[in-house]
A and B are shown apart, each in its own frame.
Chain A
Amino acid sequence: MHTHVRQLQQVQQQHQQQGQQQRQQQHAVHSLSMSEAQAGDTKPLNLCNAVNEALHQAMDSNDKALVFGEDVAFGGVFRCTVGLLERYGRRCFNTPLCEQGIVGFGIGLATQGYTPIAEIQFADYIYPAFDQLVNEAAKYRYRSGGTFTAGGLTVRAPYGAVGHGGHYHSQSVESFFTHVPGLKVVVPSSPAQAKGLLLSCIQDPDPCIFFEPKMLYRTSVEEVPVGEYTIPLGQAQVLREGADITLIGWGAQVHVLAQAAQAVADADGISCEVLDLRTLLPWDVQAVTASVNKTGRLLVSHEAPLSSGFGAELVAEVSRRCFLRLEAPPVRVCGSDTPFPLVFEPLYLPGVERVVDAIRATVRF
């Protein structure tokens, strides 16, 4: 669903000005940078390999970059860190089995000018590190007035449903962290995004949490630029242009939205605009409001439970900013307010069918 061309458009050189101006220039800059720097060099990668390639390049270009976590030395339980030990030796290392230790240790490394890239084996197991992330990493700069920072820290964690993960190998935990000023929360939805966004997180001056949709590790394959490149944080991507309703998602859920958009286009002639948020904190309010002001309708969808999910934040802000343009109440299609279940997973998840139903109801409101 991500075409080659679309991906190429989002590839950006590292040293760009930030901000709105940049977004206006994006297309021109992209084509320029691609023809110059990438010279069309791409190769097909799945999301896991794209993460792996980003880690290799980060360690190549920054000898203070360290990769560590549980079982990363042999390549990681999802194989994302394969080859790092062989190539970078002790810069890729196993830690004792302790998530609070992994993040706290990473913060300490960051304070000394290192670039720690920590892996939490599953997002479901990030909670023991909650205190270190929320009270320490997030507030390190603020509480010292910039004297100290843990900004070099990047925490990677596979998240989301895979069909058989039950309570503790399935969770989408992003909204806990979007509630934390000082953290950046990033979720890629494709291999090329994964590489460019992860490299951005690693270079970013703030602590970033990078949630990898493990469902896509092997199933999502696309052409990925060979060289080192970044995709700016805080910018959404329009995956499909449309006129009747805006569908917003991130990570694996974006693919569900794209399928639903195609389904209602074919069956009902409804034209959906699909927006991939990519960064949840800080999120791209301009892209979102621009789209909703155009379509007049909003649907947000995430795997995480409905209540207090990040969809609530988007709906609240859109309701305020686009109130006069809205033609139907914004709607959320999300996981149930239950723990993530094993045998009920297809009913728990906001699948294509539920999204299609909600699109129709909203458009016919």
Chain B
Amino acid sequence: MLSRIVCNSSLGPSSLAQLACSSLHLLRHVQRQLSTASTASAAAAAAPAESTSQDAADTLEFPGGRVPFTHNMEFLGGPLTPSSPRIPCYRTLDGTGKHIPDAVVPHDLQQQDAVALYTAMAKLQVMDTICYDAQRQGRFSFFMTCAGEEATVVGSAAGLDPRDMVFSQYREHGVLLWRGFSFDDFANQLYGNSLEPGQGRQMPIHYGSKELNYQTVSSPLATQLPHAAGAAYAMKLDGADTVAAAYFGEGASSEGDFHAALNFAATLGAPCLFICRNNGYAISTPANEQYAGDGIACRGTAYGMPAIRVDGGDARAVYCATRAAREIALRDGCPVLIEAMSYRSGHHSTSDDSSRYRTREEMVAWRARDPVVRFRHWLVANAWWDEEREKQLRHATRQQVIEALEKASKVAKPPVSALFSDVYADMPWHLQEQLQETLQVARRHPHLCPPDMPVQ
């Protein structure tokens, strides 16, 4: 501190070398300064003259706006207690699916859309159940369900424009389903066969679709968030009327990339929707060990963007909030943060056993709040849905999913060459060599090659 003052005021930048070779000289210099002037006055002498002048108003001129002065010494916030005020959670349907009389519903779902939304949620549920079981039977190596979060995922998907680019985490396959990803598409990816765009390179559930504007899933958490901010900014530069939508868990929001993304999007005015699925857990870690504040929504305001907390079990509320957020993002050229509160009703993945870290009672209580059932109640109350249609839908979906898995399991794996393609746009010499070597290995040792993988 002291040496910096001395350096600025009397030594100047050109004396850096002198500083290095003559520290003794510097010491004496400092001593002289100290003996002739107080630290404060040395600082005052070093500072530009304007900054010492009194502000006219009781405010501090600062880039971005004037900051008011106060003579009260007051700390904001502090540890949250159970009785601390919380950001309320927007909903339009109560826990049993009944319309809440005063609820603000700017974009109410008409029959056709409501039925479509419900159908996608129910299909998602059926597909999740069958694929989970199929994985447990060893048909493929991994699976994740979104049980408990169907309303969050499909409700928000319905609130987006199909052209909006989605950057997902991994539990948002309902967005793909909503947009028209077929059971065959899902099944091909799960089996890693030659019909899936990722060519069997990634683990199951790492879906992606160019046609459906859904960037391919990547396991490292929160990495997709800055991508979404960048993509949204590109849309803005292009004058497009679309947004980027980034999905993530409350666990992922602890990563540094979350901060980078929100801060970039806010400062650059990127029309990006940050959709947080706060499902209470990151694997075994409960949300209250993930953050000490009031969840994720409050961070939006800190970064300078509109934010809302919504009941993630209320498909209609999520839909409304997403549509409204999208309008704000496009109208004001800014990001919007949505925190959807729900519960991960299933295990983290097929590799997890959540009974190790949460009670049966807790799980049973949440399962009873099945968001799909809740939305169905609303449909039934509107006379848009009945038992017969329900049965038919579930039955037909079951058949379709099973058939799709059956079919995908019989499709050949990608050829050996797909191990080496797409690393670069063009295959460099060393990969060409390694491809030839690997083909030789595969011919010499056929058992190393999955039986349905062409050696070419």
Contacts and interface: CB of A to CB of B under 8 A. Distances in A.
The answer to whether A and B assemble together is yes
Interface of A: 70-71, 73-75, 77, 94, 96-101, 124-125, 127-128, 163-169, 306-307, 336-339, 341-344, 346-348, 351, 353-354, 357
B438 A347 contact: yes
B141 A164 contact: yes
B448 interface: yes
Contacts of A306: 434
A25 to B, nearest CB: 44
A314 B51 CA distance: 60
Interface stretch (B16-24, B72-80, B418-426): B418-426
Nearest to B282: A97
B418 A339 contact: no
Contacts of A97: 221, 251-252, 254-255, 282, 285, 290
A176 to B, nearest CB: 15
A128 B441 contact: no
B441 A354 contact: yes
B431 A347 contact: no
A70 B256 contact: no
Nearest to B413: A343
A342 B423 contact: no
Given A336-B438, A347-B448, A164 B203 contact: yes
Given A94-B289, A357-B444, A341 B252 contact: no
B142 A348 contact: no
Contacts of B444: 353, 357
Interface residues of B, number: 48
A125 B219 CA distance: 9
B200 interface: yes
Contacts of B141: 163-164, 342
Interface of B: 141-142, 192, 200-203, 206, 218-221, 251-252, 254-257, 282-285, 289-291, 351-352, 356-357, 413-414, 416, 418-420, 423, 430-431, 434, 438, 441-442, 444-445, 448-450, 453
Nearest to B435: A336
B357 to A, nearest CB: 4
- Which of B206, B254, B257 counts the most A-chain CB atoms under 10 A from its CB? B254
Nearest to B259: A98
A73 B283 CA distance: 12
B201 A343 contact: yes
A100 B221 CA distance: 13
Given A342-B192, A346-B449, A347-B441, A336 B420 contact: yes
B40 to A, nearest CB: 29
A348 B420 CA distance: 10
Contacts of A74: 284, 356-357
Given A164-B203, A337-B434, A339-B423, A344 B416 contact: yes
Contact of B256 (A98, A166, A344): A98
Contacts of B453: 343-344
A351 to B, nearest CB: 7
Nearest to B416: A347
B420 A338 contact: yes
A357 B443 CA distance: 13
Nearest to B141: A164
Contact of B200 (A98, A337, A343, A357): A343
Contacts of A354: 441
Given A74-B284, A94-B285, A346 B256 contact: no
- Which of A98, A125, A169, A341 counts the most B-chain CB atoms under 10 A from its CB? A98
Contacts, number: 129
A250 B283 CA distance: 31
Given A98-B254, A336-B434, A343 B285 contact: no
A164 B190 CA distance: 12
B220 A338 contact: no
Contacts of B356: 74-75
A77 B285 CA distance: 11
A351 B290 contact: no
Contacts of A99: 255
30 contacts: A70-B283, A73-B284, A73-B289, A77-B352, A94-B289, A96-B291, A97-B221, A97-B255, A97-B282, A100-B256, A101-B256, A128-B256, A164-B142, A166-B206, A167-B203, A167-B218, A168-B220, A306-B434, A336-B419, A336-B431, A341-B200, A342-B200, A342-B203, A343-B201, A344-B200, A346-B448, A346-B450, A347-B448, A353-B441, A353-B444
A344 B289 contact: no
B224 to A, nearest CB: 13
Contacts of A341: 200-201, 419
Given A100-B256, A164-B141, A343 B434 contact: no
Contacts of A124: 219-220
7 smallest beta-carbon distances between A and B, as pairs:
A343-B200, A166-B203, A164-B141, A168-B219, A96-B254, A344-B419, A97-B251
Contact of B430 (A94, A101, A337, A357): A337
Contacts of B252: 97
A99 B255 CA distance: 7
B201 A344 contact: yes
Nearest to A131: B256
B254 A125 contact: no
A77 B251 CA distance: 15
B105 to A, nearest CB: 35
A234 B423 CA distance: 35
A168 B219 CA distance: 6
B189 to A, nearest CB: 11
Contacts of A71: 282-285
Contact of A169 (B219, B438, B442): B219
A125 B449 CA distance: 29
Nearest to A163: B141
A159 to B, nearest CB: 15
Nearest to A341: B201
Contacts of B416: 344, 347
A171 B83 CA distance: 46
A96 B289 contact: yes
Given A98-B255, A347-B441, 7 more contacts: A163-B141, A164-B141, A168-B203, A307-B430, A336-B431, A342-B141, A347-B442
Nearest to A336: B434
Contacts of B202: 166-167, 342
- Which of A75, A341, A348 counts the most B-chain CB atoms under 10 A from its CB? A341
